[in-house]
Structure 1
């Protein structure tokens, strides 16, 4: 058998892992995320590519021979980030302990060492696999040399290079020289991109011939080529990988020195323990006990390679492989015949759990109709039932009504556990056909949200991250944009594979992620997120009654107001102009009116911006910016709500049905869309008036229950500040108490203005507001704002301690937690950029409060819904907006709801808070009256 030499660009792996990994530190505070990522990448590579010989090659420190040719070589590269430096120092030794020969050759770049080894391996008749993401390496590709990119699952042979770059491997150096390389500061032909370079080389063959015919190339790019002629030979030498580096000192036995070696278990166990790589440590200890084998053997990890984007070990259960094992075979089938369907029903009657997914005609769950249903039983075993495909795509299909009537008992059977991806949507689809999907036991999207709230939760991402597998994408079947076809037009064979894969992968991923949860995470998943999804489904289904007549009246009033503001703007400007034109507004404000531009933000083209922030900056001193802001506010209110909401009323229900997104914000907060009911302005009278249109039917009222100062109460608990705790425990007005403390006056002597200042300080500081932000909010100078903050922290020292403690904790572990154990990851908490880091620190302070508030309102939603159902009440939840629940309540149940609702909401903390929760209840014929 021909030997295989596997070569790894270690320096490339290090940087790619650094940018891909979430923050991770050892117990002593040393950053380890990139190190952890590289080890996982190497594990995947070793599992995926059988090899006899191997090497991981790193760049040597300092300058090399290219700097002698061109002193500015790589001069524009930023220095290595501080948090990466210690990892770069540790990595070679860790890799060596794992059985990989490591090469670091003085005065030579890793590319040249790899190039030399690749040519030596090729000359020996071996197969050579080079693992890198560097396009320069494409020049090494030949009959026995291929490139692999584990991040994109891309393999490049000779044909692959031609397909990707438009040139053959032998032309890559010419291609690179023409384009130059901004990263390495290699000069090229200005404005010569990949297409131009490939076109020239296709026509002339080599760089030398391109240069010889430079006079024939017309236009600006031809002029640029002629201007670059003197330096192109240098660029060619700079991008050419050396293949004759002297490696005798490093490889005393030639290529035989690169034979694959066994890991050094004892030393690895020590290092894994020091670095707190718990899963790795357990695996190494098991291997030490076994006394044989390779840490990277595929048999030991279920035949699947670990992903380079593996999450930190603190976030995962110990001892599990890093990706889910793949089934031995895939069995995806389309069910188009009665006999097949009867067999499927038999399987369902015997099954305990299934994965399920629907294919539909629309993303709007209230309007969507079924195209097909997919069901998975075990990994790799799934079916697709086409029900609404066009006959040309699927000539044989079972009758939809017949299928649904016979599936209904199984779909409504709570004992048959169902798992899917965003099953709330599928619940709506089945509900459109009078079927209640019961027995929901798992949701891959929500499981991912529990473990990794800071990452994406789409099935494609999850499959890549946790199965190490690509998915068939919707776009690959249906296309994009104006040319996109309906799924009903997709040919059955393709549709069946796509749909069955969705159900299969969701089942696999959910099971895999659930096994990685600790006790707190599992509790939150099963007893919070999954039940909340059911409440959200019911709220979306209920919808909210809208009065289109009220909105029409408001639209007319807003339109009149907009006309008045336009006339005022024209009068101040001295001429008519388009208030929505940034160019015209810029001309009016800064040229005709002569408003000074010093300190104002500029646009990309160098002009002065007229965005909202600039107008707010000018509004206190100039009337026109203030009018423009008012105009924009009214116009947005009109277009987004008073004009738009009537169009969104469902003709079948007469109601508006929003969609709540559950797996979006890392804090656990919900988001609302189509329409967004959580962003209706409340700071202006016009914004509040929109809520009048949210009404109750005859015989019912709207009830609003809003947590009072919930985040301040959580701050009091988390900080343990005695003064703040006492204020809430004694039922005081906390803003009045703060005003008394900060201004040094008696409680009863606090003025309304002082209370307003104190309220701004209380809420501002928990959001990380500094003196500049406070000064802007209160309309005072920076020094006064600083004095207020200093006095506040002097009176509430526990709050200051909490903020400092939380920032340090976040920096050490990369995340903070809510009271209920929800992990809130902060990827920028150790960023080199000071602004990014400061933003993450502000988020670290606020996230536990906002996240805990989110957990509490979710618990309230679950408990309120369960009470309404268990007591058989007709009252129903119709909206959730931040810390507020909105219900539609029959008048006969009003007194009971007014009594019971605040009791339930106040009791959801289960004794975990050192301060009482309070919910304020309002009642009215519409939402504004109730709120």
Structure 2
């Protein structure tokens, strides 16, 4: 899915400025609006991440100085607005700078208001094939853009505006908002409406007459004073309507090919570090490896949190007790543990719960969302429905309420936490396990994780505690914003008063307890899902915790050297491009590239953007590169520049100073297929098609006296296709160890297996992999550079030779439409919400996903099962070998030289025997001093 995320920067910088206290650095520079913008932009990237199924384009839009057409149309437009406060004006250049450093393209179009830029980009994106546009704003005028693909979000109010939400707020639907605003006017922009006509009257008229034209046509029927005022305003209304209408057809260069020009960038850590140091955002500065000039906790260090956001309770939510009752509870009694005696009583209750075999929900409140760095602020527990306990341990409480000593408290609770016979419940438990491990407490006995239970039941829905509590318990939780404030003025959890924190935190644990019971009861209704949860997903979470904790050793010097080499290559490529172009130009400017290629050099136009301009996207340049040298140089430059900024420059800065390793975060409950998502850093998208990309993997190294071992399932999805489809020819090929692509070529081209040539095998390989992803004849033709009739003939021959595959594809599409989901071999349900969509392209995409999802999902299940088995075996044998990465169908292990022979013999054996399919599983096992050598 393609999503465009737009930020109304002009709206937010004002709101951030007014919402924040008067923050200043020691030089006296105002910093509040800058802080608020960083917070909001980082939160949006976190709330709307790119993942295996969604790619994001993004932009932050600001008003440019100067007049627009509205000023010419109505000189009094915005005349009542006061000038920008000096303290805000002083922050504008830095807001632009930090926004760019956060990876956001910044747009400020002269002569065009930010709203009109947003409207144009939003509508153009839909014409260019984007599936969704999310606009982050607090401006009510933009509600007129909302439809089934465009929605508004307000991070400061934590609200989402869909079509129904627009009606709920204004009493009219999005298509009526322009008429609504014309009638009521806009006092902010000094646009008059009809005198004495407010929101209720305007909504009433539009409900009755549907449109402004309908209201005007019936003006004579509207009596009273408002009727008279309406008649007086009739001549003005067309002008008013033009003023409040957001334009969606502005001539904007960046809109000509959004996917090419508004790619989401990565954060520039060096620039951000300088800015955070200047403006004294100490926590963010430290998170980027900066060394503070004064101790942590000095006056002025107002915010704590990682990644720039004030910290919330990082326990994302609810968790369950074994068969806990799910009775409705309107209020929760909360208990604050602030004395040694109270702690002793709580520990006695925990001990009794263990003896009775009752699970206890626990949660952590922390200083950071980054698991390897988070420190404990407080601990939460729930032992029975209706009661929650909170132990404050690190609050900066101005009321001087007593708090227990963190070290002493953890020492007292450590035996319970590390007792595998004391059953425990958590929401997003992997995070809490990291937090406790940061304090040398190694949690054992986890029996429920409500986030994972929800994921198994409804992978396509949200899994946060607030959403789950409302969905499963009909309980409206206390929101973090209610205890810590909203938007840019939000404080960190250690700044929340203990009394307030107790109500919020204790509720987290109690809701988790009840929620786990509800989810467990639901899982029992579908035994295969319960089995999947208990035997794969839950134990795999523990394995992931271990893998993340282990981390991977990085050769930073090698990456620095690669960055320098790439920088030199980029300069050479730039010089070569200038020579080919006959002059200098900006290699990062699509506009200049388009003018150069198509106007100056006269190259053929391959395709055009929605606005009619020649496209310069990667597909176009790749096509042109077949015949012209300059487009090839441009592609080479783009590829190397992205590699440098995303990996060779960035990875050394991500080494944890405490461990000396890079620790990625694996998101377990994101992709509906069951696949993992890797982030901070993303280890799954390291490019391997170029020599420079493959060299990045050379920097993932083994320590002294160790090697890396890469164990990788071979052709796993094709083997799963053979199993699921039951096709005899495919099964025969795999059972007899035939080269599957040669075997397919033999079938399609009607030649003996031994006479298949390399071109025929290559064609068969494209068909084998293409069809399991639902590739059409059109796609195959483009991939093989043949005409569509020839591609269709190949596909027809394929299905004639492999009729079981054809039957499978037909049956799985029908199953998806009937059930709304398809299933893996092990029962995982892969939900397809768009399978019945009236939108043709969305429905077609869902049908293609229905074909491939069972293979991707089964592959994900297999690698999880294998890693659980491997972890258990490594522990049972007390080996020093450890798993350090998981990438798609590959597990990477760090192996002492003394254990290499054992690992090479046993790991493939374990991985190939985790499941009994109709075809044998095959695992390749490579060895090397670095990842590239081992792969």
Give the structure-2-normalised TM-score.
0.67
* Rounded Cα–Cα distance in structure 2 between residues aligned with 1:341 and 1:745: 78
Report the CA distance between 1:877 and its aligned residue.
0.5
The structure with the largest alpha-carbon Rg is 1
Corresponding residue for residue 472 of structure 1: 478
2:893 is paired with a residue whose SS is strand
1:797 aligns with 2:816: no
* Rounded Cα–Cα distance in structure 1 between residues aligned with 2:606 and 2:213: 38
Deviations 1:312-363 (A, max 9, x none): xxxxxxxx99x94323641112222233222212211111321111111111
Q: CA distance change for structure 1 residues 394 and 926 in 2, over 3 Å: closer, same or farther?
A: farther
Gaps of 5+ in 2: 1-162, 173-192, 217-222, 246-322
1:175 aligns with 2:202: yes
Q: Is this contact kept in 1: 2:484–2:492, CA < 8 A?
A: yes
Report the CA distance between 1:748 and its aligned residue.
1.4
Report the CA distance between 1:526 and its aligned residue.
0.8
Corresponding residue for residue 331 of structure 1: 333
Q: Is this contact kept in 1: 2:194–2:230, CA < 8 A?
A: no
Deviations 1:645-665 (A, max 9, x none): 000001111100001000011
1:886 aligns with 2:892: yes
* Rounded Cα–Cα distance in structure 1 between residues aligned with 2:195 and 2:490: 34
* Rounded Cα–Cα distance in structure 2 between residues aligned with 1:855 and 1:137: 43
Match of 1:221 among 216, 224, 240: 240
Q: CA distance change for structure 1 residues 189 and 709 in 2, over 3 Å: closer, same or farther?
A: farther
2:543 is paired with a residue whose SS is helix
1:682-693 matches, cutoff 5 A: 682-693=688-699
2:507 is paired with a residue whose SS is helix
Q: Is this contact kept in 2: 1:171–1:206, CA < 8 A?
A: no
Q: Is this contact kept in 2: 1:358–1:372, CA < 8 A?
A: yes
Q: CA distance change for structure 1 residues 898 and 169 in 2, over 3 Å: closer, same or farther?
A: farther
Q: CA distance change for structure 1 residues 568 and 871 in 2, over 3 Å: closer, same or farther?
A: same
Deviations 1:890-909 (A, max 9, x none): 00000000000000000001
Give the stretch that moved more between structures: 441-450 or 822-831.
Answer: 822-831
Q: Which runs of 4+ in 1 moved over 6 A?
A: 132-140, 166-170, 215-219, 222-226
Corresponding residue for residue 750 of structure 1: 756
Q: Is this contact kept in 2: 1:136–1:176, CA < 8 A?
A: no
User: Root-mean-square deviation (CA), in Å?
Assistant: 3.2
Report the CA distance between 1:533 and its aligned residue.
0.2
Q: Is this contact kept in 2: 1:408–1:435, CA < 8 A?
A: yes
2:553 is paired with a residue whose SS is strand
Match of 1:653 among 659, 662, 679: 659
1:555 aligns with 2:563: yes
Corresponding residue for residue 586 of structure 1: 594
Q: CA distance change for structure 1 residues 167 and 337 in 2, over 3 Å: closer, same or farther?
A: farther
Report the CA distance between 1:832 and its aligned residue.
1.4
Give the stretch that moved more between structures: 474-483 or 576-585.
Answer: 474-483
1:69-80 matches, cutoff 5 A: none
Report the CA distance between 1:547 and its aligned residue.
0.5
Match of 2:539 among 531, 535, 545: 531
1:502 aligns with 2:508: yes
Corresponding residue for residue 208 of structure 1: 227
1:712 aligns with 2:718: yes
Q: Is this contact kept in 2: 1:358–1:370, CA < 8 A?
A: yes
Report the CA distance between 1:714 and its aligned residue.
0.6
Report the CA distance between 1:213 and its aligned residue.
5.5
Corresponding residue for residue 349 of structure 1: 351
Corresponding residue for residue 90 of structure 1: none
* Rounded Cα–Cα distance in structure 1 between residues aligned with 2:404 and 2:583: 69
1:404-803 matches, cutoff 5 A: 404-479=410-485, 482-517=488-523, 518-597=526-605, 599-603=607-611, 607-803=613-809
Match of 1:927 among 912, 928, 931: 931
Q: CA distance change for structure 1 residues 335 and 815 in 2, over 3 Å: closer, same or farther?
A: same
1:372-411 matches, cutoff 5 A: 372-392=378-398, 395-411=401-417
Deviations 1:599-641 (A, max 9, x none): 42335xx544433344344433443333222212111111111
Match of 1:907 among 893, 913, 925: 913
Q: CA distance change for structure 1 residues 736 and 215 in 2, over 3 Å: closer, same or farther?
A: closer
Q: CA distance change for structure 1 residues 765 and 485 in 2, over 3 Å: closer, same or farther?
A: same
Gaps of 5+ in 1: 1-131, 141-146, 148-165, 191-203, 227-319
* Rounded Cα–Cα distance in structure 1 between residues aligned with 2:579 and 2:695: 29
Q: CA distance change for structure 1 residues 619 and 467 in 2, over 3 Å: closer, same or farther?
A: farther
Deviations 1:461-507 (A, max 9, x none): 11121112222222343345543321111122221122112112222
Corresponding residue for residue 303 of structure 2: none
Corresponding residue for residue 256 of structure 2: none
Give the structure-1-normalised TM-score.
0.68
Corresponding residue for residue 124 of structure 2: none
* Rounded Cα–Cα distance in structure 2 between residues aligned with 1:687 and 1:225: 50
Q: Is this contact kept in 2: 1:740–1:747, CA < 8 A?
A: yes
* Rounded Cα–Cα distance in structure 2 between residues aligned with 1:618 and 1:799: 36
Deviations 1:392-449 (A, max 9, x none): 2663211111111111111111121111110100000000111011110101100001
Number of aligned residue pairs: give it.
Answer: 665
* Rounded Cα–Cα distance in structure 2 between residues aligned with 1:590 and 1:633: 22
Q: Is this contact kept in 1: 2:539–2:868, CA < 8 A?
A: yes
1:521 is paired with a residue whose SS is helix
2:584 is paired with a residue whose SS is coil
1:516 is paired with a residue whose SS is helix
